[in-house]
Amino acid sequence: MKKLFVSGHRGMVGAAVVRAAEAQGGYTLLLRSRQELDLQDAAAVNALFATEQPDAVIHCAARVGGIIANRTFPADFMSENISVSFNVIDAARRYRTPRLLYLGSSCIYPRHAPQPIPETALLGSPLETTNEAYAIAKIASLKYCQYIRQQEKLVYHSAMPTNLYGPKDHYHPTYSHVIPGLLRKFHHALVTHADTVTVWGTGNVRREFLHVDDLARALLVLLEAENPPDIANIGTGTDVTIRELAELIAEVVGFKGNLCFDTSMPDGTPRKCLDISRIASLGWKPATDLATGLRETYREAASTGLLD
Ligand SMILES: NC(=O)c1ccc[n+]([C@@H]2O[C@H](COP(=O)([O-])OP(=O)(O)OC[C@H]3O[C@@H](n4cnc5c(N)ncnc54)[C@H](OP(=O)(O)O)[C@@H]3O)[C@@H](O)[C@H]2O)c1
């Protein structure tokens, strides 16, 4: 049994990795909540690695948020993400943990990256300004993994997931990502019998969405690959406009009123869809279609009071 440290296991991605690793078997999981171990505390992180000597790490802990959160708190996004990731990667390196998989993100590719985005587009042109601080922190960590692998032959590498949704997502009215934000808005409109829902932005930008359980299976494929790529995109390879997404969510929730678009709110990158040929060549493909995934996510969020 391999001892696998999953950082951020109470978050959306970390919890999905725990579910996938338990379902698959072969791992002893090493888990610490923020209350047990603050990953911004370098000494405490080093002590964990010295004592537990994990065989592998999937580093899911981060400060994560939607477009408004990123735009409002850039200094926090940069400092927390740099410190948490540096502490974990550096402790793994110091204690010679053989494998580490870092969670990048499709939103750290340049604003005008070619579509679908190949991994080689990283750092090819200027970043999207709304999440620049988060992107720079993530790129520094991803590069640190790449340099460690190059210099010391420890297999540290990164996954670049597209926009995710699923269990344990965050439903904050202002700071959430697009799917939880829209599920919340449409649910409220339904229960308050409102006749219109306002969606942020023009509705014309295109986005790709992946169920987090599909991501977790892909992360285990990458972790178990003998010679994984330094960077591997994880997505569905298909995208929808925000208008199409909003219409699908209205249908899932059962909202029959009107949609309008608030064009004073930022759109972000015009299109974001990943080239997933690298991860596909390792035998992975997504299993959950968007309509089914949204129906399950809505049922779970509504029944656990997350949308109230
Ligand atoms: N969500 C997406 O759509 C998406 C898309 C692409 C990439 N990703 C990447 O996937 C990774 C995980 O994202 P997620 O959506 O799972 O985020 P999440 O739900 O917010 O989970 C992040 C977890 O990290 C923990 N954490 C943060 N700072 C910590 C600290 N100082 N000490 C200990 N724990 C700390 C949080 O603990 P608390 O619960 O105590 O706050 C939380 O459990 C991130 O690197 C993110 O960039 C996410």
Catalogue the active-site residues: 134
153 vs 8 pLDDT, higher one: 8
Q: Which amino acid is at 262?
A: D
d(CA 276, CA 35): 36
Is 258 a residue whose pLDDT tops 90? yes
Give the pLDDT score at 268. Answer: 78
90-144 pLDDT, tens digit each = 999 999 999 999 999 999 999 899 999 999 999 999 998 888 999 999 999 999 9
d(CA 16, CA 212): 6
Which atom of ligand 1 lies at the shortest distance from residue 163's CA?
Answer: 3
Query: Residue 90 is encoded by which pair of tokens?
Result: 């550096």
Give the pLDDT score at 19. Answer: 98
- Ligand 1, pocket-test mutation among 12, 175, 209, most atoms within 8 A of CB: 12
Binned at pLDDT 50, 70 and 90, residue 172 comes out as: confident
Query: Residue 211 is encoded by which pair of tokens?
Result: 């169920």
Ligand 1 close to Cβ of residue 41 (< 6 A): no
Domains located in the chain, CATH noted: 2-167+209-236+273-287 (3.40.50.720)
Ligand 1 close to Cβ of residue 203 (< 6 A): no
Ligand 1 close to Cβ of residue 234 (< 6 A): no
Beta bridge partners of 231: 158
d(CA 189, CA 255): 7
What is the chain's mean pLDDT, rounded?
A: 96
**Which of these ranges, 42-56, 108-122, 153-167, 168-182, has the smallest mean pLDDT?**
168-182
Paired sense of beta strands 56-59 and 2-7, if any: parallel
- Ligand 1, pocket-test mutation among 6, 18, 57, 64, most atoms within 8 A of CB: 64
Nearest-CA residue for atom 38 of ligand 1:
34
Binned at pLDDT 50, 70 and 90, residue 203 comes out as: very high
CB neighbours of 153 closer than 8 A, spacing ≥ 6?
Answer: none
Cα Rg of the chain, angstroms: 19
d(CA 243, CA 112): 21
The rounded Å distance from CA 13 to ligand 1 centre is: 7
d(CA 125, CA 111): 8
The rounded Å distance from CA 154 to ligand 1 centre is: 24
Ligand 1 close to Cβ of residue 40 (< 6 A): yes
Ligand 1 close to Cβ of residue 54 (< 6 A): no
